[in-house]
Amino acid sequence: MWAKTIKNTLVVSLLMMASACDAFQAPEIAPAKNQNAYQPNVLVKEVSIPWGMAQLPSGDILFTERQGELRLVRDDKLVGDKISGLPEIYAAGQGGLLDIKLHPDYAKNGWIYLTYSSPDGEGDGTNTALMRAKFDAEKLTLTHQEKLYKGSDNTIKAHHYGSRIAFDDKGYVYFSIGDRGERDVKPQSLSLDGGKIYRLHDDGRIPADNPFVGQEGAKQAMYSYGHRNPQGLAKNPKTGAIWSHEHGPRGGDEVNLVMPGKNYGWPVITHGRNYSGTSITDLTEKEGMEKPLHHWTPSIAPSGMIFVTSDKYPEWQGKVLVGSLKFGYLVLLDITDNTVVGQSTLFEGIGRVRSLMQGNDGYIYVGTDGGGIKRIEPVT
């Protein structure tokens, strides 16, 4: 019964979103001047919604399909068999198999981290879970599966799961859970999962210095709160800080510096409006709440986020790359310290950008909904 309710609720929600989003134009962002030196070349065509990607030391690429499949690319070809050993995944609406990230010491310990929508726990519906496992490349299966965290507040709503994964320089793992469509309940509550970014030890233990450890009723794994739907999470390689971006509603997409214990304001402060065009709040700032480093209004529907460090793209080094689902391009952010000082677009028409990866081979990979996984290569 609850599965049918999710489906019906989602259809209505998507129709409202599509109608509202069509009512405004793209934000005014100039194209990057140097993009003609590079071109996106299709690596694998046979993909649907490639939510996350990770490149193994061998050069093989693992990628998640939101419908609940983990796939392997070897020698620029999709390996036919699906990878087995996944947990129970509820793939509906915006839920399914989501992000994937290798442990920073993967070459030594072999751990792979995944997020997914899980029906485990009490109550109807699902919430986001984080797991780790090891990959047997010969048998194409996951082994040593360990569930590290599961949002305990299930809901039948099938959107705003988050969910990205990042590691910092100290080996802590961060991941996001969106507000799960319950904006007036979860983001501002310290006792409910959702609308949060979490921090754990790599084995799932809660760090003793997490900002809410010891506070009665608070989620001990919580690192920051007041988020809407963060689908970008990345470490700044120069500072070690974790950056995020999140979907606003109709406008108000945000880029944030993730800091311990901070409240990022959703839905008390926002630059966005309801999809119907009505006001959510008149406030864009409030004492005790963090303003975004940057926002897109109108919304670009950001998904995926990386800091460019590769010497294959010298003009982009030190900049942040973000994908746009809505407008089918990449956005290159110029940053100085913790300030966004400029932006430009790349590769308009590349497709609905779902995921980004800078591989260990130095190339940037772009996962697009229904348009394949593409590798950004220099024009020769």
> pLDDT tens across 296-337, in order?
999 999 999 999 999 999 999 999 999 999 999 999 999 998
SS3 (DSSP) at 172: coil
CA 26 to chain centre: 21
pLDDT number for residue 10: 47
Strands (E), 219-307: 222-225, 230-235, 242-246, 253-257, 294-296, 302-307
Q: Is the pLDDT of residue 4 over 80?
A: no
Rounded to the nearest 10 degrees, how much is the dihedral formed by the CA atoms of 196, 202, 206, 210?
A: -60
Rounded to an integer, what distance in angstroms lies between the CA atom of residue 362 and that of residue 308? 9
Q: What are phi and psi of 11, to 5 degrees?
A: -60, -45
- C-alpha distances in angstroms, 214 versus 23, 88, 187? 47, 32, 20
pLDDT class of 83 with cuts at 50, 70, 90: very high
H/E run at residue 106: helix 106-109
For residues 141-155, give the mean pLDDT: 97
Q: Is the pLDDT of residue 17 over 70?
A: no
Annotated active-site residue 160? The verdict is: yes
SS3 (DSSP) at 15: helix
- Do the Cβ atoms of 260 and 223 come closer than 8 Å? yes
H/E run at residue 21: helix 2-21
If you average pLDDT over every residue of the chain, what do you get?
A: 94
Which residues on neighbouring strands pair with residue 2, listed in sequence order? none
Q: Which of 103, 144, 159, 160 is catalytic?
A: 160
In the chain, the percentage of residues whose pLDDT exceeds 70 is 94
pTM of the model: 0.94
pLDDT class of 24 with cuts at 50, 70, 90: low
DSSP state letter for 256: E
SS3 (DSSP) at 174: strand
34 compared with 323, residue with greater pLDDT: 323
| In the chain, where the domains are located | 2-378
18 compared with 145, residue with greater pLDDT: 145
Nearest to 373 by CA among 69, 75, 135, 61: 61
H/E run at residue 108: helix 106-109
- Do the Cβ atoms of 117 and 95 come closer than 8 Å? yes
The CATH class, in words, for 2-378 is mainly beta
- C-alpha distances in angstroms, 208 versus 150, 151, 177, 221, 260? 19, 20, 21, 10, 13
Using the CB atoms, write b or e for 171-202: b if 16+ within 10 Å: ebbbbbbbbbbbbeebbbbeebbbbbbbbbeb
